[in-house]
Structure 1
Amino acid sequence: MLPLLFVSLSLPLLTSAKTPKSPLLQTDFPDPCIIHHPTNNTYYAFATSSNQKNIQAASAPSASGPWTWLSSVDPLPDPGPWTSGPRNYGMTWAPSVISLPDSSGWVMYYSAQLPANSSAFHCVGAAVSKMSILGPYEPLPSPLACPLSKGGAIDPSGFFDPQTGKRYLVYKVDGNSLGNGGSCGNTIAPLRNTPIMLQRVNETDGVTLIGEPVEILDRDERDGPLVEAPDLWWDGKRHVLFYSNHCWSEEGYSVNYAVSTDGVEGEYVKMNGTNGGERALVMTEGIGDGFNLSAPGGATSFWDEEKGESGIVLHANCREGRCLFGVGIGVDEDGRVYVD
């Protein structure tokens, strides 16, 4: 996603029932990311493989829509030689697109299934497009993160840190792929860790790794089998890590957040859902105050140029599968993130 400049909001925490949300896009569009193209003033969204695409794409004149699914576009026609191949639809997940400096191109991070005997695992790769935000993206010959002994890696997200001018890649180590069964493969003891990792990358090319990855969050017993779908947001004072917990196929799946006041690599403290009984940021209606959504997750933050506000896009269950939704985000006087 594009580097974000936050305009501080100081508004009361919203505690009343939230207005039900309608899909921004009425099609199966899981694990979305969103990016604004400043030249043509168009928003683009990318999503997990579905509808006979390795990666899906949609466009809109504003972050709130109307969104159009781009039926003729597959931004990643080949996920790369290290994957199970271009025709294995459904196995390329959770894209995150960033723009490179000086309009020199775009990078797409994604997770893809490994081939043959390693097909139980995914790893995180990257692909580059120099000509168009819609690609075609050319994959790197090998993955960026592939900790197979720990279960592989999924759910990458790019982040430019306005505090330091450094660029990062954040992802989940897919420990539950090695689990002993149960919900999302990881509720039968001994349970596996599913840490969220932060990897610095080169500011100019977005793909050259700098140093070793740093663990910034992990599941605990109140998260259920996993934490995943990480996304970093700078709220003007702190680094906020959005993440999902519980199992994606169940109603307990939700959007949560943790906060670091000690830099992007600092200690992240879980602020809701699993901390002190506060409700998740976005959760299934009926369990909590959730916009009439079911199993919401996979949130990615963005800056709405038109409204001058921050928001998140996410997916939730719908008739077609998992549809695209959007909500606004802000920070109240007590420093809590809220959604609207």
Structure 2
Amino acid sequence: MQIYCYQCRQVESNGTYVTGPVMAQNFPDPSIVYAEGYWWAFATMDQNINIQVARSSDFQEWTYLSGVDALPDPPNWVNMASPNTWAPDVNVLDDGTYVMYFSATTTNDTTKHCVGAAKSNTVEGPYTPVNGTLACPLDQGGAIDASGFKDWETRGTGWGPGNAIGNGGLCGNTIEPIVGTPLMLLAVAADGVTPQGSPVQLLDNAGVSDDGIVEAPALVKTYDGEYVLFFSSGCYSTDNYTVSFAMSSGGVTGPYQRADGPLLKSGDVDGQLVAPGGMDVHWDATRMVFHERESAEPLVRQMWAAQIKIGNGTVQV
């Protein structure tokens, strides 16, 4: 089904823009990759499709690949009664093949998610799971929202917290004591899945002001050597959800300094955005996708697209 920039609303300034929704259907936690002559977007499961897929030739008009499931056969550690495959992220490996990171509920504890990986010779897939999990800290609440990263020296994958061990409140973690939900980074080998050392913490939530959670990390390095860590803060089911960022000039492991305020929040784009988040940023640090809540009942989160600028210690959109 072809969607021609469905009901697009576009705001432009200083060579940047935000436009959307670029697809009509529920397409949460989108990620992007440019490969094989197209922009490709992958998203959290919807109905019986574990990983949704769309593509575009120009980054604004998107084709939803109806019936295509990039991960038709999840690995055996996934709780298939309710897999909840979330937040896929596809990356091109040095040999021209593809690795997809994803999170899903685990048979070891069906209330928590773990991060897994799958591979394919084509960007569309289908992707074949790699044995075992990549990150599964069940005693810390699990792991979600994995995202690949590569600069000139390091290939890695980052992930957010499985916020399942808090003390209640919004998204389970706004009642004291607030539990940490750190964004982590793990260096991996050229195959995209073999760990190199131990995970490193990049950023944690700031307590109740973040609704006790930061999640959905996306890390890029600019051409002038700055590292930008994009993430979402706030409870996804409320208007508090945002696209936020932090920056480091001291290396990929930080320290990261949070911006004074979010990059995108409810009410932005002439009042059209509600709970923007779950973003991904292309490695060239110029293009971003994210979801915006179109309705709460039923929950529908549609994909938006943006062109961004990074420089002078900040991000513009």
- TM surpasses 0.5: yes
Tell me the distance in 2 between the aligned counterparts of 1:300 and 1:22.
15
Matched, 1:129 2:120: yes
Letter in 1 for 2:37: N
Tell me the distance in 1 between the aligned counterparts of 2:201 and 2:50.
29
- 2:141–2:165 contact (8 Å) kept in structure 1: yes
2:206 maps to which of 211, 220, 225: 220
- 1:21–1:292 contact (8 Å) kept in structure 2: no
Higher relative contact order (CA 8 A, sep 6+): 1
Tell me the distance in 1 between the aligned counterparts of 2:281 and 2:169.
31
Matched, 1:108 2:100: yes
Q: Could you tell me which residue of structure 2 aligns to residue 73 of structure 1? A: 68
Q: Could you tell me which residue of structure 2 aligns to residue 33 of structure 1? A: 31
Matched, 1:336 2:304: no
Shift in Å, 1:290: 6.6
Q: Could you tell me which residue of structure 2 aligns to residue 300 of structure 1? A: 280
Q: Could you report, residue by residue, the CA deviation over 1:224-276 in whole angstroms, capped at 9, with x for unpaired residues?
A: 22000000011222000000001001001000100011110120110132xxx
Q: Could you tell me which residue of structure 1 aligns to residue 258 of structure 2? A: 270
Q: Name structure 1 gaps, 5 residues minimum.
A: 1-13, 274-279
Letter in 1 for 2:116: G
Letter in 2 for 1:250: T
Q: Could you tell me which residue of structure 2 aligns to residue 210 of structure 1? A: 196
Letter in 2 for 1:54: N
Letter in 2 for 1:100: L
1:246 maps to which of 219, 229, 234: 234
Tell me the distance in 2 between the aligned counterparts of 1:295 and 1:140.
33
SS at match of 2:77: coil
Q: Could you report, residue by residue, the CA deviation over 1:163-202 in whole angstroms, capped at 9, with x for unpaired residues?
A: x2x201000122x211111100001111110000000001
TM-score by length of structure 2 reads 0.89
SS at match of 2:146: strand
Q: Runs in 1 of length 4+ with deviation above 4 angstroms?
A: 288-291
Q: Could you tell me which residue of structure 1 aligns to residue 291 of structure 2? A: 315
Tell me the distance in 2 between the aligned counterparts of 1:19 and 1:33.
18
Q: Could you tell me which residue of structure 1 aligns to residue 59 of structure 2? A: 63
Letter in 1 for 2:31: C
Shift in Å, 1:303: 5.8
- 2:18–2:305 contact (8 Å) kept in structure 1: no
Q: Could you tell me which residue of structure 2 aligns to residue 4 of structure 1? A: none
Matched, 1:161 2:151: yes
Letter in 1 for 2:53: A
Letter in 2 for 1:184: C
2:248 maps to which of 260, 268, 271: 260
- 1:28–1:51 contact (8 Å) kept in structure 2: no
The alignment-based identity, stated in percent, is: 42
Structure with greater strand percent: 2
Q: Could you tell me which residue of structure 1 aligns to residue 86 of structure 2? A: 93
SS at match of 2:164: helix
Q: Could you report, residue by residue, the CA deviation over 1:270-291 in whole angstroms, capped at 9, with x for unpaired residues?
A: 0132xxxxxx100000xx5676
